Copies of this chain bind each other. A is one copy, B any other.
Amino acid sequence: MIENKDPIKSDNLTARLIEAIVNGEYPPGSKISEPELARVFDVSRGPLREAMMRVESLNLVERVPHVGARVVTLSLDKLVEIYAVREALEGMAANLACKYITDAEITVLEDLLNRHQSHIEQVDGASYFYQQGDFDFHYLIIQASKNHQLIALLCDQLYHLVRMYRYQSPRSHARPEKALYEHFAILNAIKARDPELAEMLMRRHIKNSRLLIENELLEE
């Protein structure tokens, strides 16, 4: 049993910082004070700054020289842009998944969607559980593409911002029945090894989410 404790403060800090920012512990726009955070995480400013540099590379904070770092504010415009990129990249992922997905991965996806099905019938509506489940579905498809550059770009770069948004407005994405239906359709296309259809369905699925956001944007 390899423990892989990873006792390196700087590395662990990065993950903890990401999580803290994504789940709103440090709200958008708020200033991040190095001395304060160093106290909170019980490290010195050295490793903390190294972690901050990485978090900055993820576009989760914005730094101004000699002034400091602030948590990014996720405007709806920015989010629409992100969803447009997701459309292209996850469409591509669905396409590739048709070729490279394994039977084992298909089984995992089927189990996941079946659990969602029964969960929705019981709870009847959006819930934290389903939110996470939606991410799981997309992550699995992305992984199944087997393109490591694509996986890194989506999972390590874009998805933190998407998760951050959903923490902020958890109910705006609430169209669980329709989304689940679309998930089933995508999975079916992948099982049928139909790349064009899978890509088209995935693009439309994400486009539908994007349209919800754009509607929010119009209501202001």
Contacts and interface: CB of A to CB of B under 8 A. Distances in A.
B58 A57 contact: yes
Interface stretch (A122-130, A144-152, A205-213): A144-152
Nearest to A86: B149
Contacts of A6: 65
| Interface magnitude class on chain A | 20 to 34
Contacts of A82: 149
A147 B158 CA distance: 14
A101 B158 CA distance: 25
A153 B85 contact: yes
A163 interface: no
How many copies of this chain are found per oligomer?
A: 2
B153 A157 contact: yes
Nearest to A93: B88
A160 to B, nearest CB: 12
Contacts of A81: 147-150
Contact of A53 (B50, B91, B92): B50
Nearest to A47: B49
Nearest to A6: B65
Contacts of A24: none
Contact of A150 (B66, B85, B92): B85
A89 interface: yes
Contacts of A35: none
A78 interface: yes
Given A58-B57, A65-B8, A153-B157, A85 B147 contact: yes
Contact of A11 (B65, B148, B157): B65
Interface of A: 6, 8, 10-11, 46, 49-51, 53-54, 56-59, 65-66, 78, 81-82, 84-85, 88-89, 91-92, 96, 147-150, 152-153, 157-158
